[in-house]
Structure 1
């Protein structure tokens, strides 16, 4: 079964299919990649009156943009303190403000297009698995002071009142952040793109590009696009179409499982509709779905594809360790997907050649950053802003190839060991 057949088979809004490119098409901008970054870029360009074509190798949202846990909240995969050390305090504040804007863009788009099928639910809890109250209080104060952004500190008693696990200590709850059905969101935006006159071609991977002239050529197996500009917005499944981009990220696999329908059992452990993520690197994230009937649980990363069923068994063991009362909860299905991670753990957003743009490496960042990436690229193309340059310090650096994957796996194991030690020290 595909991930669409499993995770989404009960809830997917699947009234969305597009043809294969089989002719010559002309446009102002060709977007390669039908994930959230590409879809957002196209939407903004169409709203400004451009002619836009999207090429998607599979289906809209087929990659990480449609397979993820649906969390929409500010921030980046790279730690906030590490970003500040890399670019300075003022630059770091501007980057964080962009991530807040990206979250609001997704929320506003859901409202403007009345995307009921996205099922937005407000509230995300970031829990810690060891005593860390002072750090959380300081973070809450910083967000309020610097961004006028309010999050709620939760004591251990407050956390355990809604998450009945001895594993958890304190939390920051973000009432403005929310979680959604990501594939339904993407497909609704795709329908809006079509309504605005945009053309979307599925099953049409870009096989070659010619950027040598003012008119760019993008070729597929059965057709070609003639365009003034190209935006490459791929992810973990990006091919070697542009070697420099392919070399700049690592394809990292992550895993998600969905439980059987058992609302009464789930309520014995979790009594909140908030999505939950813990503070470990590649830690657990989960949320109740389908009105509390099922639990969606994700986590773990590997640097090469592994059996999603085997990893789901590992996730299930972690779920039962966190919530012993869920030991009998069965897993109905599981799936995996490839994210693109840059070595510097930040998104890669910028200009490759004149009129050729890239917008990629969003692994671990959430839907907010992917959206703002598409938005700032569209602004640059339209001459409205140069905000994309805020990401310039985090460019297309070589990710290290096979050696990079090995280093990433070793780093993950090291971080897991550090997490284990901190948790053990807090028991």
Structure 2
């Protein structure tokens, strides 16, 4: 099975495959799902000397983990005020600190494993499409005071000196955050898990399970895994294998397009290597890739996967509305991917029952939260900490099924309208 056509597949450093499971294997821990969360759990457990088996239905990183924007920065899909209302002020601060730790974990893993193909580039700008310097400066002061974490305020002239667009006013630049090639990162971690003795099986979807006894069983089409501990880390492509998990979040599609090679034209609009994200709900996110030769541009969400080619036209309208000078920039390919979102917009990290764990729902800020989620579950499995309990206020609540999808789409349209009105008011 091949990866879908994305910039990441086209620039894959190593396309080796892992075998499918055949026959019976035994291990300490079986992980279901070969995305960033599952691979982080596998890495940490293998480092600790556990015997690990990871099952992936398609290929490692086939879903959102290998198709995303590549941003690695602190925070969650939900806002700080909503998190504080649900978890309390002290726990909200602890949760944000975890998101910083997740970002740091990815960076340190790249350094320790010498994953040059992840191609990390430091700097992410969060831009406003209306003036509000007081809010940005207050946020910068809060991060410095509470977390000793420095971000830089950028005024309008400074922003527009590198982003040549009248749509942007002010920004916070995070020099600690960075952007990467997520598929190369994930696959390098997978090879390290294998080097440490972990066993990874692709095209090996879990089809049945029995968690009722001390020895847990997971079946695939051609094999059986016997394990003491199970960790489920599936996301937007989750099947009904564990109904409680599937009904707890919504599969939300997002879309990305890749431009043709046109470095001179791109430099007319963007003269920074920073990744860019705007402040709108499901707003634009983009970065220059391929050594400055191409532009990777993402955005939009739908509650049902639509044609990526059709949505690419909408992305192009967003791009050219922001940068009219890019009207001649052609789209070379586009793709979509399903993320998992819980109703509370937070990761779902916890325990189904003794020795059966879940670690999922990372839509919106996946690269730091998958890392810290996987690390926390590994700590819990190894009896090293109970830090995963910080996520207890954000459990497996029912996402609403079809009604939930409809409500999510209506909410998105409402937020889009609010964003539009606020921008119009600033003109």
For normalisation by structure 1, the TM-score amounts to 0.99
* Partner secondary structure for residue 5 of structure 1: coil
Secondary structure of the residue aligned to 1:191 is helix
Deviations 1:175-210 (A, max 9, x none): 000000000000000000000000000000000110
Are the equivalent residues in 1 in contact too, given 2:8–2:66 (CA < 8 A)?
A: no
Query: Partners of 2:371 and 2:132 in 1: how far apart?
Result: 31
Give me the whole-angstrom Cα distance separating, in 1, the residues matched to 2:9 and 2:182. Answer: 14
Could you tell me how far 1:16 is from its partner in structure 2? 2.7
Give the distance between the partners of 1:259 and 1:393, measured in 2 at CA: 41
Q: What is residue 21 of structure 2 aligned with on the other side?
A: 21
Give 1:144 deviation, angstroms. Answer: 0.1
| Contiguous gaps of at least 5 residues in structure 1 | none
Match of 2:248 in 1: 248
Structure 2: stretches of 5+ with no match in the other structure? none
The equivalent residue for 1:162 is 162
In the alignment, the residues of structure 1 paired with residue 336 and residue 324 of structure 2 have an alpha-carbon distance, to the nearest angstrom, of 25
Q: 1:3 to 1:77 in 2, by over 3 A?
A: same
Residue aligning to 1:350: 350
Q: Which string of whole-angstrom CA distances, capped at 9 and with x for unpartnered residues, describes residues 80-117 of structure 1?
A: 11111211111100000000000000000000000010
Output one character per residue of 1:367-418: Cα deviation in whole Å (capped at 9) or x when no partner: 0001000000000000100000000000000000000000000000000011
Structural mapping, 1:59-74, within 5 Å: 59-74=59-74
- Check the 8 A contact 1:57/1:205 in 2, yes or no: yes
Q: TM-score under structure 2 normalisation?
A: 0.99
Aligned residues: 427
Aligned-partner Cα distance in 1 for 2:335–2:200:
26
Shift of 1:366: 2.7
Question: After TM superposition, where is structure 1 displaced by more than 6 Å over at least 4 residues in a row?
Answer: none
Let me know the Cα RMSD of the aligned residues: 1.0
**2:117 maps to 1:117:** yes
Aligned to 2:423: 423
CA-CA distance at 1:17 after TM superposition? 1.0
Matches within 5 A, 1:387-406: 387-406=387-406
Secondary structure of residue in 1 paired with 2:292: coil
- Structure 2 residue matching 1:238: 3-state secondary structure: coil
Q: Distance in 1 between matches of 2:6 and 2:389?
A: 40
Distance 2:264 2:394 in 1: 47
Change (3 A) 1:227 1:412: same
Q: CA shift at 1:14, angstroms?
A: 2.5
Answer whether contact 2:118 2:180 (CA < 8 A) is retained.
yes
Aligned mates of 2:86, 2:280 — CA distance in 1? 22
Please tell me whether the aligned partners of residues 256 and 297 of structure 1 are also in contact (alpha carbons under 8 angstroms). yes
Task: Report the counterpart of residue 8 of structure 1 in structure 2.
Answer: 8
What's the counterpart of residue 238 of structure 2? 238
